[in-house]
Amino acid sequence: MDKNKNYLSLKKFCLGEGIDIFGVADISQVRDEFKISPKVSQNLDKAICLGVMLSAAVLSEIDIVPTKLYFHHYKIVNSFLDHIALRLCNIIQKKGYLALAIPATQIIDWEKNIGHLSHRKLGFLAGLGWIGRNNLLVNEKLGSQFRLVSILTNMPLKIDQPSKKTCNKCMLCVSMCPSKAIKYSPADFDHIKCFEKLKSFQAQRQVEQFVCGICVNVCKGK
């Protein structure tokens, strides 16, 4: 099978299982950024990026604080993504290639918001959207109202190209951010202010983990 046929076959499986957005990125130039053993990552040159939309109804309940319903939804969507990623890995391995699923949410350093890798960066490279002012991946149709998972592989696949779109004049997330961490330029996003607000939400027992969702709720795409 050639790269295009492999790509279409995997995409068909994923969309049939409930995945909403699918893309493939070349990771050969960003592997050094991963918090993964080089013994593993050096043999993997692509990332399959999968996204599932979040419930607009659940998000709409969020006002100035995250809700317990959103926290539960957040966990369930991540679990669903991990489940599909595992199944996709098995398909790839049965075809004789390597595949490594990176959990949808497994943070190594919460204060710096660092995981084994950046799903949003891989999603950008895979053409799923752009990095918005809210420091999240923004998809043209879904906004930031989706979650991501990544599968690293050496399977021959067609590569998607990064998006050239931006948030343009939209400033909704800037005005709604309770910590004032979101600035006009995505490069100026204040990770520390964001993390401090997440800690305060947890301390107030709004949620049991460092999640917010306020900027996600207002970033709806077009």
Q: Domain ranges for the chain, please list them.
A: 3-218
**Position 199 pLDDT exceeds 90:** no
C-alpha to C-alpha distance for 192 and 18, rounded to whole angstroms:
35
58-75: per-residue pLDDT in tens?
999 998 888 889 989 999
- Across the range 82-93, mean pLDDT stands at 98
Contact present, 149 and 82 (Cβ < 8 Å): yes
pLDDT above 90 as % of the chain: 72
C-alpha to C-alpha distance for 68 and 220, rounded to whole angstroms:
21
Q: Which residue has the higher pLDDT, 199 or 177?
A: 177
**Position 140 pLDDT exceeds 80:** yes
Q: Which residue has the higher pLDDT, 156 or 31?
A: 156
91-124: per-residue pLDDT in tens?
999 999 999 999 997 666 666 666 788 999 999 9
The closest of 19, 27, 48, 30 to 147, measured between CA atoms, is 19
- Please give the full DSSP string across 42-72, using - where no structure is assigned: TT--EEEEEEEEPPHHHHHT-SSS--HHHHH
pTM of the model: 0.91
> Which ranges in the chain belong to alpha helices (H)?
3-16, 38-41, 56-60, 68-94, 119-125, 172-176, 191-203, 214-218
